[in-house]
Each structure stands twice: as C-alpha cells, then as structure tokens.
Structure 1
C-alpha cells in the first residue's frame, strides 16, 4: 500500500530547507573573523637540528653519518670536486659523460647491463649529475641489502670500465639533447646567460656537438683518475644504520681506495664585467630577458642582506616587487622574478621576465626602475619583517629529514664554510636592516648588468633603438 505525501509534510520540508538556505547565506555573508596571521604572537621557534657524526678515514675520505630508524632504508650522497669548469678545451662535456657512464658503462668484471639488472633486483636507486663546479651521486638501498648494494656502489665509484658501446650511446643521447635546446627558448636563454656571466674563464665554456664527438674513452678514464679519489670526495650516510656500522661499511669497501698524486688547478673565478646588452635572435612571439650581476659569496657578510634583497626583489613570489608590478599590476609577463645563486667563493644574482614581444622594452625598463627604487629608499618595516620571517621559516624545511640534514652539513664542508653556518643563519637574517638591503641594492646598477634578450628581429630593432649598443650573439651547439 502506497503512502500519500501530504501537503503539510511538503510545507514542513520546504520550510526547513528555506531555514537552512537562509542560515547558510547568513553564515557566508558574515563569516567568523579570523585573526591576521601577521599579527599572531607566539614564542620564538627554537632551531637545533641533530648533528651528523663527522669522520675522516686514513685515506682522507670525509664522512657524515646520521642514523634514522624511521624506515628500513639507507641513503648515501657522494659529492666530488669535479665539474664542467675542469673540462679540457675542445672536450667540454667530459665531466658530465664520466659521471653518467659510471652508472651505465659497467665496472671491472661486470657489464653495464649486469649492473643495471643487479640494482633493479634489489630495488636500489642510483643517480649521477655534474654541474659547473661539482659532481653529485646518490644511492638508496633497503637495509636488508645494504652490504651487497654498497659493495656494488663502491665499485661504481672506484672501478668504472666505460664500455665503448655505452659511451657511443651516451654521446648520441647528449648530441640529441643539444639539438633540442633550440626548441626550448627558456633553456637556451639561461644556457647562454651562464656563458656570458662566466666569460673569459673555463667556467664559461659550454658543451657543443663538436666537443662531444671529440671525447674518447681515454678522456673518461683520465677524468676519473684525476678527480675520483678519497681526498677529493665527501660522503653522507643517513637512515637505518648505526655510526659504527657505517664506519665499518665504508672502511671495508672504500678504505683501500687510494688518492691521486695529481691535483687539478681550480679555474679562476668570474670577473666583474662592465655590463652590456646582448641579443640572441630566435623567431618566436615571446621574449626572454635576463639581467645578471656578480654577487656576494656565502662566506661574505653581505650574503645575508642579499638573501633578503633577493626575496624582496623577485624570489618572494606574489609579494616580491618584480612579480607584483610586472605580472600582477601590469599583466606583462607569465613568468618573472629573481634568483640568487650563492656559492662558497662567489655568487650570481639575476632578474628575469618572459613576456610577449610587443612588451619587451616596457618590461626591461620597468625592471630597471624597480631595481633603482630599491637602492634609493629603504623598504618599509612591514615589508622587511615579512621577508625575514618567510626566509627563516622556509629555511627550516631544509632539515625535514636525516638525509637533508646530513647533506646540508656535507655541503658546508664542501664549500669551506664555518661549522656554525647553519646554526647562525636565521639569527643573521634577523639582524638584516633596511639600510643593509638598500646598500646591497645599490650594487645592482642596471648600467653594470649583463642583459641578455632572446627574441625575434622586431624586438632586436626596438631594443637597439631604445637602449643603444646591442651585441648580437649566436648559440653554439
């Protein structure tokens, strides 16, 4: 028997629905007032990360060990004093190919394919990379396979064989990568920018197709012999391993590793240049503009105010001056900001924008104005305090795992910084004043900047008409 749906029931349901809707609208119209997060007061956060155990073996190998039992994993990071800046002239790419081939080109008594299969069978991961002034290797292994896995990893570091067939494949892959750079204007721009900022030193030489084709197996063997030895290598170990166990493991497989008698000469640092405008022609409807200056090293006292300056100028996201003006207010760029890449012995600061061709001159002019304004008057107390808090808080996230903590301490040694660099970083940022920031901003004189623009011929003519002397450059692959 069906029940009849009465009118009274309908009225009751409708009334309840209206009440709920009205209450919802009222709630939405007058939300509970939330406090301004910038006005919330709380006790100062303490920062005391655990310290990795620092050990040096008799053969000179430096170790940083930090146990962490959260997961049955052991993670290893190896940093080598090598890099593309050491590549012989005409054979640029040797350091990169050497590191890549160590992971794929086999080891003494074991083919590259066999190495790959063994790593896969024990779920181990291996990664190698080389930049301008260092080589980095990472290795992750389950605790139950640690001895077997590290035995293999140690042979990858010390006994690579660089198989000819794998070298041919690696060179072909690199040649294809070089060919594709012209298809990526942003990668093209930053590659050429790096060359210009390091021009006149080996640090500014770039890998080309000709240099890759010139590299032979003997070049890789020579590179490995010169750079891969205990006194030139630092290792961090973290995860499910005790300090005595780690020391015994390293001693067992790397204790007999002997140092090279030769010591490579460190290439000179980049020199301060007089500035100039450079143009790389590419037939695209957008332009990329990058300003660059040499900047303080991490060892310099000016490093800390420059960190704050970078945040305020462009790396601080939506709140930064360049982003706020160029993207938010004017809507002239879909990507813009700044970067500060500080190393132990020198630093680079850059400001950039990716914009449509028609607005290139306007964007460049406005970035110049923003930089001048930063050097003419101090930032407001609110802006300065917000930047310092953001930097201090983000710094904490560099220490969210044992792996990161051990790695940070290793890099302090690699860059020859003071042992308390990490512990005093936040307090030194806190001491930065508006006057300090202004003094650093004065160094960013647009007339002394290296300015690289990648764009089409119409943009070149407009840039030359507006700013005068422009040097055309060509990308060399």
Structure 2
C-alpha cells in the first residue's frame, strides 16, 4: 500500500514539474514574425470592356472561373423582389436553346464539371469549375448559355412552386425568422429589406423574367476571376468573341448607407420586437449600425467585436452567458462591413425562462463599464488572433481572387492588405472605449426576440408583439 501511495505521489510531483517546465519552455520560445507573401494578380481589360483578374495555380489540372456581371437585386427598380429568385432558379435550370432544361446541366455532369448561377444584391455571378482537358467543350456550353438564353415555361412553373413551398416553411427556424424580422425593420423601405410574398410571386409573368434577363445580359461592367490551371490567352480569345448585347437603357440602383440605417432605427415606432412562436429555445437578437468598410474605425471595431462576442469561446458572450452562467446554448456577435454601410449583431439561443436575464446580460456586456475595464492583455490576445486569421484570406487562389474583388468593390485603400496587420496592431484601449461608446450602445439598436407570447409580460411590456408574417409598421 505504501508503495502504491509513493508511486502516486511521485507521479503527481513529476507531472507538476513537467507541466511547469513545459510552460516555461513555451513561454521562452521566440517566434519569428508571420511573413505573408501577397500573390501577384494579373489584370487585363478587353476591348469589349470585360476585365479579367488572373491568378495562376497549376497544382492540379482544374480551372476555376467566376464571371461577375454588375447587375443585381439592387437594380430591380420597381419590380417585385420575388422576381430575383424566380429568375435565378429558372434561368439555371432552363439551360439554353441548344441544351434545354436538364440537358444543359447534364452535359456538365458528364464532364465532372460544375456550373451554377446566382443573383445577389450587387451582381449576377456564373461559377464554373472543370478539368483543363475539357476546356473546348466547356467553352461551347458556356457560349450556348450566353448567346442562346432560355427560359422554359415548365421550369418556371416548377420553380415557382418550390419557392412558394419555401416561403410557407420559412418560419420554422427561429434564428432565420429573427434575422428576417430584424432585416425588415433595419432596412425598411429598401429592396434589400423587402420580404418575398406568395401573392407577388404568383403575379410575375414570363415576359417580366425575360426583361430582367435581358438587362443582366446587356450589363457592360463584367469581371472574370480566373484561376487554377487556366490559360489566360485562351480565355482572352474566347471572351473577345463573346456576343455583346445592346444596352437595355439606364438602370436604376438602390443606395444603402449607414446614415440611412441609423435613421431607420431612430424613426422606428418600436425598437423592441417579440415575434410570437412556440419554440423550445428562444432566439435573442440585437442589431445596430457601424460605418462602412473603409472607415478608419474599421480596425478598432473588429478588435472590440472579437473581444465581446466574435472570438467564440474566447469572447465575453460565450464565457459569461454560456460557460459561467449556463444561460445560453450559444452566444456571440458579428460585424458585417459593406461598401457603404455596416452592421453589428449580437445573438443568443436560450431557454424561454432565461430570456430576460440573457437580454439584460447581453446589454450589460457592451456597456462602457465593461469596455472601459478591458485590460491590455485582452487587447493583445484579440489582436494576435485576428492577425493570425489574416493568412486564411489566401488559403486558396479562388478565395484570394474573391477577396481581392470584394476589397476593391468596397473602395479599400490599395495598401489595405499590406497594412492590415499593422493597423490592427495600432488599436489601443482608448480606441476600444471610443468605438464602444459610439457604436456599441444598446439604446441605438433594434432588439428582436423569437419566442412565446408569455415572454411579453416577462420582458416588462416594452416589447411589441408581432406575428411572423406581419408587416412591421
């Protein structure tokens, strides 16, 4: 028995000494600074105005091509918003006149290639991936899709039915429901904030779809992102022979700014909204306005967001709400920066009876009292984490090109990437206090909660009760 006891003691002491030695060892390691070599992106503009951004990566015989046409949802004008999704699905699955309906996508599947079309807020995008040996065949299929656009009435009817079913089921997920209602309130009276309705979807005619399709095809601003084992000269030759559509007239464009969103919150008749839904877990969501991507406060907001809720298990939200108090299944925050505006979002999933306490704590954790108490060590950890994540912007050549285009669309400085880590390192505790007071005030935010009607009395009567499909005033 004494021998066993002695062995246990020796094991315990040795493990403590070993842990201490390991800690000292790691502490004294001198790590060299992370060096990032930015890839050289080749850029050319063809005579027809199409721009090509090319990044060679011949590691595998695969080519990736993403064709961006700068005509999207924001250019709808007075058209119903439902037309975007209906055209997106109908166009892709209608194929071309030579390869109608399923036969078009089947040709890609035979080659093991990928093809998809998406109509986003800013632009319409065609995404391709294929083996280099099949390039001539891919060019032939793509030419057919571009020069022989097709919209099949049977496909349109099928897609209309699918979208209708999706609309009927869109309130099933409480997080998606809460995000949608917050979006409706924050982006009020904009195309971006408009929610699809079945009645409007049913009114869209085939000629309406053809008109929008023609507008997209005639858009002059087009950018091709080309990478993988691609041949730039071959693509230049191909695109120079591509059919050019005549302009369909002056296009309208919606503009969303941080000032517009802040005004929407200020003029909102009710900043606190309870969306009635019987759920096992209630969803709590707060959203506010931050500046656009190229604003000088971008770096400080990124760091503060990481500390408060964006850093996962390292953040105050996860530590205080989930780990220490066990009040939420998940909690966090995100900062979304766009070309002309930005939003900051805080969220948590919790038991219904915990909602009032969780909401109170979510607000408390972004108050000046906490932000003013942040320590230099917390700031340093956040900056190191953000700078370490920076390298993943370049983890593959396709992602590199996509990010490069996004930064240019957002009018970021030419040396943005070069000085990113330097600018993050410059963020001080005083910067965090300043942006915290300016952008992280819960009194300037919309609050949306998805949960049962009984929550209204628990929340003190300050919340307006709405139904999932109710149009907000």
1:423 to 406, 418, 421: 418
1:71-86 aligned at under 5 Å gives the runs 71-86=60-75
How far, CA to CA, are the matches of 2:206 and 2:168 in structure 1?
23
Match of 2:39 in 1: 50
Alignment deviations for residues 207-260 of structure 1 (CA, whole Å, 9 cap, x no partner): 1222222222222222122233452322100010233233223324x3x32452
Task: Give 1:157 shift.
Answer: 4.4
1:34 lines up with 2:22 in the alignment: yes
2:464 to 450, 454, 471: 471
How far, CA to CA, are the matches of 1:319 and 1:59 in structure 2?
50
Match of 2:86 in 1: 97
How far, CA to CA, are the matches of 2:304 and 2:386 in structure 1?
11
How far, CA to CA, are the matches of 1:131 and 1:456 in structure 2?
34
How far, CA to CA, are the matches of 1:209 and 1:40 in structure 2?
62
Cα 1:40–1:319 shift into 2, 3 Å: farther
Cα 1:472–1:72 shift into 2, 3 Å: same
Contact 1:86–1:202, Cα closer than 8 Å, also in 2: no
- The more displaced of 368-377 and 322-331 is 368-377
Contact 2:329–2:349, Cα closer than 8 Å, also in 1: yes
Task: Give 1:282 shift.
Answer: 0.4
How far, CA to CA, are the matches of 1:35 and 1:376 in structure 2?
30
Alignment deviations for residues 50-88 of structure 1 (CA, whole Å, 9 cap, x no partner): 121111122221211111110000001123334434445
- The more displaced of 321-330 and 31-40 is 31-40
How far, CA to CA, are the matches of 2:190 and 2:321 in structure 1?
34
Match of 2:244 in 1: 257
Please tell me whether Structure 1 or Structure 2 has the larger radius of gyration of its CA atoms: 1
- Structure 2 length as normaliser, TM-score? 0.89
DSSP 3-state at the match of 2:320? helix
1:152-301 aligned at under 5 Å gives the runs 152-157=141-146, 159-229=148-218, 231-252=220-241, 254=242, 256-258=243-245, 260-269=247-256, 270-272=260-262, 273-274=265-266, 276-301=271-296
How far, CA to CA, are the matches of 2:78 and 2:89 in structure 1?
20
How far, CA to CA, are the matches of 1:56 and 1:294 in structure 2?
37
- The more displaced of 346-355 and 182-191 is 182-191
Task: Give 1:180 shift.
Answer: 1.5
Contact 1:62–1:233, Cα closer than 8 Å, also in 2: yes
DSSP 3-state at the match of 1:74? strand
Match of 2:348 in 1: 353
Contact 1:85–1:205, Cα closer than 8 Å, also in 2: no
How far, CA to CA, are the matches of 2:246 and 2:298 in structure 1?
34
- The more displaced of 124-133 and 298-307 is 124-133
Please provide the CA RMSD for this pair: 2.7
2:316 to 314, 321, 329: 321
Match of 1:12 in 2: none
How far, CA to CA, are the matches of 2:415 and 2:38 in structure 1?
12
How far, CA to CA, are the matches of 1:38 and 1:294 in structure 2?
40
Contact 2:76–2:253, Cα closer than 8 Å, also in 1: no
Contact 1:298–1:346, Cα closer than 8 Å, also in 2: yes
Contact 1:375–1:439, Cα closer than 8 Å, also in 2: no
Structure 1 stretches of 5 or more lacking a match? 1-14
Contact 1:90–1:214, Cα closer than 8 Å, also in 2: no
Match of 1:371 in 2: 366
How far, CA to CA, are the matches of 1:35 and 1:159 in structure 2?
67
DSSP 3-state at the match of 1:235? strand
Task: Give 1:263 shift.
Answer: 3.5
